[in-house]
Amino acid sequence: MLSALDPVQVLEAPDVTVTGIAADSRAVRPGDLFVCIPGAHVDAHQFIPDALRRGAVAVVTQRPWAVPTGIGAAVVPDARLALSALADRFYGHPSRALRMVGVTGTNGKTTTAFLVEAIARTAGKAMGVIGTAGMMLGREVLEGKSGYTTPEPQTIHRLLAAMLQRGAWGAVMEVSSHALEQRRTDHCRFDVAVFTNLTHEHLDYHGDMEGYYAAKARLFRGLQPGAAAVVNIDDPYGRRLAEEIPAGVRTLTYGFSEGADIRAEDVHLTGPGARYRLITPVGEADVEAPHLFGTYNVSNAMAAVGAGLALGFSLQDAVAALGTAKGAPGRFERIDEGQDFTVVVDYAHTPDGFEKLLSDVARIKEPGSRVIMVFGSAGQRDPSKRPDMGRIAGEYCDVLVLTEEDPRTEDAMEIARQIASGVARDEVEIHLIEDRVEAIREAIRMARTGDIVLITGKGQETELEVQHPTTWRGDVVEAVDALRDRAREEARGVRA
């Protein structure tokens, strides 16, 4: 195993059999190799004794230590890179045997990944998906949500190997900026890399937009000759990236911009979906996407079509897939219990995500109806975006119900007040309700015929990071329950 590392200083090399890899001492099983990752807050070197007690037979560190007899040990300059190399080696380099697509960007990764899988499936190819919504191959869920957009290397390569064993032709993976910075995907060989956009997010981690861009660009710098880059040139960072793609890598641009290789024209939002004319290097086609609402989903569809064409699929297969695809769970997911107003659960949680979602909702809003929006902002994350989220929501919405959204150790209502400080229009009605369950219920209680209720920020997620007990089970579940309770009240004549 240690031969996969270069450079490496081997401290002890007994003849041991490694049966697994772990980077968290609590996950160590007998026979595992334990890799110590220095973290921002916790240094795994202090957990070596715990890993050994749990049965680790070898340890990789970034500094020398007193190695017990019979334990394999090595020192490397970069433990994260070592973890990636070891995981790839241990599971037999699975990405080399699969057609791999990596999707990166602030917004649109999940939907784009799901659409790439749909195109492959329409063409008769089985493609696994790794990302925010979980890890799956077709209808089989290989593993639930990991807590990360992009899992750790040992999980990535284990899943890719499992997909390969089950007959997968390829895999599409959401690749986050954190994962790229932390080298989780360094030993994944990507055939296609997709860039969706880059907007204000994660600056608490990357420092500034330049650092954020540099992390995203790593995915493309790692492409080998013969691979393809699919880049959104509606985005200024995408235009920059398109000029920096390595030699020998094919570039396919997409967007609404004149000159894009893949372009959508004559876009009409149809309420639940969209229709448009798609222009590509291999021909043109009319697209009917009845389940993919919004111009942002037209952009996601163009990204997926670009990836599909780069993989060798036909335009006909891509268009057919868009005609039936429903996108990803928790992405403009309509909740229909027969009510006379619209309820939508969406993952939008950034200023740019709000702008794209709300500007499209404004185009389908009926005269005299209202937009009621339930949302918050994550605690212990970039606070500078909070007033911007309030400003944008206030421009488009009539009622804001501000609530908890993974506040972690912060005060959810203080976060809500920071959001509210950005609202400029006096006529916007603002409610601060800490309990997310009650916030959703209040929004649905106040809805009138024709109104649009948007519940954003959590999407398909079912865990809320709070410091107090909560009964919240996910926005979709809570919205369904609230609608059914409202219907029962109306049937009993309780509501006016």
Structure tokens at 281: 């290097």
**CA-based end-to-end distance of the chain:** 71
Task: Give ∠ CA 342-348-351 in degrees, rounded to 5.
Answer: 120
Nearest to 38 by CA among 89, 84, 10, 77: 77
Which residues lie closer than 8 Å to 114 by C-beta, 6 or more apart? 129, 133, 325, 327, 328
What is d(CA 112, CA 263) in angstroms, rounded to the nearest whole number? Answer: 16
Q: Does the annotation list 359 as a binding residue?
A: no
Would you give the DSSP letter of residue 184?
T
Q: Across the beta sheet with 452-456, what order do the strands follow? A: 333-334, 342-346, 452-456, 371-375, 399-402, 429-432
Q: Does the annotation list 150 as a binding residue?
A: yes
Q: Does the annotation list 324 as a binding residue?
A: no
Structure tokens at 471: 């009964």
Query: Sign of dihedral through CA atoms 301, 306, 311, 315?
Result: positive
Write phi, then psi, for 328 (nearest 5 degrees): -100, 155
What is d(CA 82, CA 187) in angstroms, rounded to the nearest whole number? Answer: 10
What is d(CA 386, CA 377) in angstroms, rounded to the nearest whole number? Answer: 7
Look-up: residue for tokens 């380099």? 93
Q: Does the annotation list 323 as a binding residue?
A: no
Q: Does the annotation list 253 as a binding residue?
A: no
User: Do the beta carbons of residue 162 and residue 138 sit within 8 Å?
Assistant: no
Give the distance between the most distant pair of CA atoms in the chain. 78
Q: Does the annotation list 122 as a binding residue?
A: no
Q: Does the annotation list 184 as a binding residue?
A: yes
Q: Does the annotation list 25 as a binding residue?
A: yes
What is d(CA 438, CA 446) in angstroms, rounded to the nearest whole number? Answer: 12
Q: Does the annotation list 46 as a binding residue?
A: no
One DSSP character per residue, 294-360 reads SHHHHHHHHHHHHHHHHTT--HHHHHHHHHH----TTSSEE--SS-SSEEEEE---SHHHHHHHHHH
User: Could you tell me which residues are annotated as the binding site for ATP?
Assistant: 105-111
User: Could you tell me which residues are annotated as the binding site?
Assistant: 25, 105-111, 149-150, 176, 182, 184
